[in-house]
């Protein structure tokens, strides 16, 4: 096992995200908060010594993260909420920041663009 020179943030939907998702026209499935929080997005962040640095990093990335979370459900941006401010991001998502990342795989990492760099 190897220490990785990154930290991580786990992006967890909150009730307002679930309410939006369940209100999208044509969505026939009633999704629960519990089901959405069971498998969440994990973002690698630069290493930091103070947890507030991780929060600041999320603040810098919030627009991309917000768009990524919405696009993972609907590509049609006309269905997205109009208010995608930093305040709304923090109301719609909990973010867990962790400073230790360990790679348990004895192979090189492979990187590819996520496609959300708009």
- Whether 113 is in a domain gets the answer no
- Whether 114 is in a domain gets the answer no
- Whether 111 is in a domain gets the answer no
- Count of domains for the chain: 1
- Whether 91 is in a domain gets the answer yes
Range of the domain at 70: 2-103
Sheet holding 41-46, edge to edge: 41-46, 6-13, 93-98
- Could you report the per-residue pLDDT of 27-42, keeping only the tens digit for each? 877 889 999 999 999 9
The alpha carbon of residue 68 and the mean position of all alpha carbons in its chain are separated, in whole angstroms, by 7
pTM of the model: 0.86
For residues 92 and 17, the answer to whether their CB atoms sit within 8 Å is yes
- Could you report the per-residue pLDDT of 27-80, keeping only the tens digit for each? 877 889 999 999 999 999 999 988 889 999 999 999 999 999 999 999 999 999
């Amino acid at each position: 096992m190897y220490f990785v020179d990154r930290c991580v943030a786990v992006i967890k939907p909150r009730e307002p995200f679930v309410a939006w998702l369940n209100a999208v026209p044509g969505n026939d499935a009633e999704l629960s908060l519990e089901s959405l929080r069971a498998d969440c997005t994990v973002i690698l962040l630069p290493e930091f010594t103070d947890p507030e640095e991780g929060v600041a990093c999320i603040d810098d990335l919030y627009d991309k993260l917000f768009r990524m979370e919405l696009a993972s459900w609907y590509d049609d941006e006309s269905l997205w909420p109009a208010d995608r401010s930093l305040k709304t991001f923090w109301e719609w998502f909990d973010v867990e920041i962790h400073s230790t990342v360990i790679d348990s795989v004895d192979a090189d990492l492979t990187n590819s663009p996520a496609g959300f760099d708009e």
